Chains A and B, each alone.
Chain A
Amino acid sequence: MAQQVITQSKVVPAAQYRDPSLMQSLWWNVTDALIITRRNLTYYVRLPQLLVFSTIQPVMFLLLFAYVFGGAIQTQNGNYINFLLPGIIVQTAMFGGSVAAVGLAEDLKKGLIDRFRSLPMARSAVLAGRTLADTVRNIFVVLLMIGVGHIIGFRFQNGFLNAVAAVVLVIAFGHVFSWIFAFIGMMVKDPETAQVAGFIWVFPLVFASSIFVPTETMPELLQIFAENQPVSIVANVVRGLMIGTPHDSVWLAIAWLTGIYVIFVPLSVWQYRRSAN
């Protein structure tokens, strides 16, 4: 008899199950996301070349823009590297999010999302863990670019606190946009398509913006778009905070990011939950 009790206790009896409390569920939202973040960051440890190449590309962009276009592009105070660096880290933070689209599409294709969905884990955790890991990588890349920028002549012009605020805004921007990439990855379900689809909407936002060039020289309609779209607004604020140029309100930038966040987080989680259909 005793034997039987012991063997039966090996299996969790259904009747013992209790729903977690609200606090417990909220806590699991955090811890589950961190477990997945750790798993995604492990990829960079196992494949250091992944980190190396995904870092070389933005640094190369920085150097190419600074030296190839630097002479040709006229900016107000004539110092193109000071104009360029704030813009190009915004662009880098945005491109960095595309890893989320490809990574999630790959997890779907390999059936890993099915495994996760069959576990009693928080429904947001797989996506939050993905975007958090990409944010960690973004922090690394952005700081590296500021370092390289410094070597080729970039200087903060607006005090330490504003510089910190600018970096925080860039990272927040990258994080918010990685949720859009996450949504795309869950939608298209295929890594190759995710790679392409992930970028299509990015190019107009990045190039028809104040990231690389002042918007004054653009045709009128384009200029209206370029000055009022979120990427430009964030880039202008970041630039303003870093080098003191006039810019839109920080609150406008934060409002845009909050708006995108509250739309795309639920949308992505919804897509995650129905991903098998």
Chain B
Amino acid sequence: MQNDIVVEDVRKSYGKVQALKGVSLQAEAGKILGLLGPNGAGKTTLIRILTTLLKPDSGRATIAGIDVAKHPMRIRSLIGLAGQYPAVDEMLTGRENLVMVGQLYHFSRKASKERAQELLEQFSLTDAADRTVKTYSGGMRRRLDLAASIVARPAVLFLDEPTTGLDPRTRNDLWEFIRQLVDDGTTLLLTTQQLEEADNLADWITVIDHGEVIAAGTSETLKSQLGQDVLELQISNRSYIPQVQTLLESIGRETPHVDTATGRFSVVVPHGTQSLLEAVRVLDQQSIAIADIALRRPTLDEVFLSITSASEN
């Protein structure tokens, strides 16, 4: 399959801050690439480079084979962008915003108006279409911003945290809509901090942290890359928490996560059932009562926390 977005060893610094330290990734045409990373990882910086807003210090990025830094104008007619914060004109109405964007893509006024109407319907904004954006709620602005990003039916679409600030229902609608868009042939690069979102939407996930790619794969491969099972354990007497923590640390592969309010632990373990038995045995030796114990597959959240904390060290 052909790659629509190719990023090769891209670096970018803001003064002394190295935002990207040599990032490489690919997105297949017609697929969704989820770019996952904690605050400050460099997601927005990468999107800004790919959408011609920023020039990389070094490295190469191409979209549909066109070099982003060398032919920014060509790139701009191919892509759509909805940035991390909605960029719509408060003083114009929703409709006027979309018509203006259409015209700036050099569609005729008539075509821009028709497309605006279509998008307003698609994003359930018809009732508010002729009100100034100043009167819109946060979710309505975000929907309008997303609508603006696909006015030209771009071949490649960039969405920077598109569902931040949307209620669950609107978010689900948007997911549905995004899938539809990709079925129609759009290639999508989507950043998110919500693993659920990446898990749900992305065909391929690239995890970045501190400006570096630290893992990549489908959500399934990422989950199994972490490999081993997670041991979940609950104790009834919470005064034993520090003690249990030390014990689990020697059994598990990493520092156990503990919810001090409930006395619930979770820790990735190397040997599955054997590790479970070992946990039962050592806690029994110390006469610490176990309220509940189980083994399960890791969630993507745990994979994420585990690889991002590993890159910290």
Contacts and interface: CB of A to CB of B under 8 A. Distances in A.
B186 interface: yes
Interface in A6-48: 7-8, 10-15, 17, 19, 28, 31-32, 35, 39, 42-43, 46-47
Contacts of B218: none
A26 to B, nearest CB: 13
Interface stretch (A117-125, A138-146, A159-167): A117-125
A125 B96 CA distance: 18
B148 interface: yes
B155 interface: yes
A72 interface: no
Nearest to A38: B100
A119 B76 contact: yes
Nearest to A8: B185
Interface string B64-101: 11100000011011110101011111111000100011
Interface of B is mostly: loop
A37 B4 CA distance: 36
Contact of A17 (B78, B86, B88, B92): B78
B64 A14 contact: yes
Nearest to A125: B104
B132 A120 contact: no
B184 interface: yes
A112 interface: yes
B105 A7 contact: no
A262 interface: no
Contacts of A277: 54-55
A11 B185 contact: yes
A192 interface: no
B87 A110 contact: yes
Given A13-B155, A14-B65, A42 B79 contact: no
A110 B134 CA distance: 13
Contact of B92 (A19, A42, A117, A120): A42
B152 A12 contact: yes
B286 to A, nearest CB: 57
Nearest to A46: B91
A12 B55 contact: no
A11 B153 contact: yes
B184 A120 contact: no
Contacts of B63: 14
Contacts of A8: 184-185
Nearest to B49: A276
A28 B106 contact: yes
B52 to A, nearest CB: 7
A133 B105 CA distance: 21
Interface residues of A, number: 33
B183 interface: yes
A39 B155 CA distance: 28
Contacts of A28: 106
Interface string A82-126: 000000000000000000000000000011101111111100010
B104 A111 contact: no
A74 B52 CA distance: 59
A35 to B, nearest CB: 5
B154 interface: yes
B52 A118 contact: yes
Interface in B4-49: 4, 48
A118 B73 CA distance: 9
Interface string B131-175: 010000000000000001000111110000000000000000000
B51 interface: yes
A116 B104 contact: yes
B194 interface: no
A90 B97 CA distance: 35
Given A114-B48, A115-B88, 17 more contacts: A7-B185, A14-B63, A19-B73, A28-B106, A35-B103, A42-B92, A114-B83, A115-B101, A116-B104, A118-B76, A118-B79, A118-B81, A119-B105, A120-B77, A120-B106, A121-B104, A276-B53
| Pairs of residues from A and B, 8 with the lowest C-beta to C-beta distance, nearest first | A14-B64, A111-B87, A120-B76, A115-B87, A120-B77, A11-B185, A121-B104, A118-B81
20 contacts: A10-B153, A14-B64, A14-B65, A14-B66, A14-B78, A14-B156, A17-B74, A17-B78, A28-B106, A35-B100, A110-B87, A111-B85, A111-B86, A114-B53, A114-B81, A118-B52, A120-B106, A276-B53, A276-B54, A277-B55
Interface of A: 7-8, 10-15, 17, 19, 28, 31-32, 35, 39, 42-43, 46-47, 110-112, 114-121, 125, 276-277
Interface of B: 4, 48, 51-55, 63-66, 73-74, 76-79, 81, 83, 85-92, 96, 100-101, 103-106, 132, 148, 152-156, 183-186
